[in-house]
Structure 1
Amino acid sequence: MKAILTGHTRGLGAAIAATLLSRNIPVLGLARAGNDALAQSFPDTLKQAALDLSDTAALTAWLASGALQDFIGDSKSLVLINNAGMLQPVGAIQTHDLAAIARTVSVNVTAPLLLAAAFAAAAGHADDKRILHVSSGAGRNATAGWSIYCATKAAVDHHARAAALDQTPALKICSLAPGIIDTDMQAEIRATPVENFPQREKFEGFKRNGDLVSAEDCARRLVDYLLGEQFGELAVADLREVKPA
């Protein structure tokens, strides 16, 4: 088995990468910067490509370079985890910076869809190929101040629903909400001015009450689900509602 993972340098992405690598699964990490700690711990099984996923032209060029196919090789079991994501801009629609909208849509929607299509084509020979979009409850429940974030997560949810209907042989896909995790994004949410994000107090309460799950625990459960027999039964799922196999 081999895995392609976006946003592997921090937070949930770093924890997912560590979980996969600790199980002797080679990982190709795609992010703007490298993960030096993981590279030192897993020099033979971690490959990294420096890519700004908000730069659609750069990602398209990388996909055309053959680097993805080179990593996949003749592996018969492959997974793609579209984990990288951005929250900004936050606030009422009239306050949004247009360049920030474009960056977030590129990272949260365009990059996952490009990678999914390229992965499915390059992995056509594989007996078991799986695509996981890391989604959010925000894609299923509208939240004031988060119109861009909500819309982008709803987009990958619906992409998984439609792609599952294609019934591509040996391909399973799921857009999975991982729950509320103690990451930098949560800190970013709590630092948002309340006038831009009316529900800030709710998220401050998650931290104060110890409701946040560690990235390491979430990554372990996410990888267990991704590699388990249940994966693909639901095109859209919530990790908090998934029963252990």
Structure 2
Amino acid sequence: MKSKTLLILTGHTKGLGHAILDQFLSLESVQVVALSRSSLDLDLPNVTEFPLDLSDLNALEANLTKFFPKEESFDRYILINNAGWIGEVKQVGKLNPKGIQRVMNLNLLAPMILTDAFV
């Protein structure tokens, strides 16, 4: 019996995240749950995309249970928290508090929430 793996990957539409996704697409034994603000509109049986802004913690928490397929069991689970954003680059004293919060949500709190749900 083949082992089955669930991969949860954030930030899969560009850059490193897209390259990571490409590496797993050819593996039939891997079910991919991909989270990003935008979608690649993939029509593949082993990929489920969730367009979601991970800096919106309320939306993240409301959707957490959707990321873990209940009808399947897996031998391995992999979480790759790849999504990230540096935010606006400005001098201290000229930063936008909402922008700071968005960066912290995306780069720190969302990975913590996903990791906690994953464990």
Q: Fold-level match, TM-score > 0.5?
A: yes
More helix by share: 1
CA-to-aligned-CA distance 1:59-104 (integer Å, 9 cap, x gap): 01111xx212326831020100000000112122212111111111
- Counterpart Cα distance in 2 of 1:98 and 1:26: 38
- Counterpart Cα distance in 1 of 2:108 and 2:97: 16
Equivalent position amino acid for 2:74 in 1:
S
- Counterpart Cα distance in 2 of 1:72 and 1:52: 26
User: Normalized against structure 2, the TM-score is what?
Assistant: 0.88
Contact 1:13/1:83 (<8 A) preserved: yes
Equivalent position amino acid for 1:30 in 2:
L
1:18 corresponds to: 22
CA-to-aligned-CA distance 1:140-191 (integer Å, 9 cap, x gap): xxxxxxxxxxxxxxxxxxxxxxxxxxxxxxxxxxxxxxxxxxxxxxxxxxxx
Structure 1 segments (4+ residues) deviating >3 Å: none
Which of structures 1 and 2 has the larger relative contact order (alpha carbons within 8 angstroms, sep 6+)? 2
2:32 corresponds to: 27
RMSD: 1.5
Structure 1: which 5+ runs fail to align?
Answer: 121-245
2:61 corresponds to: 60
Change (3 A) 1:3 1:92: same
- Counterpart Cα distance in 2 of 1:69 and 1:26: 10
1:74 is the counterpart of 2:73: yes
Change (3 A) 1:86 1:72: farther
Change (3 A) 1:111 1:71: farther
Equivalent position amino acid for 1:87 in 2:
I
CA-to-aligned-CA distance 1:22-71 (integer Å, 9 cap, x gap): 233221101111113xx14xx111111121101000101111xx212326
Contact 1:72/1:78 (<8 A) preserved: no
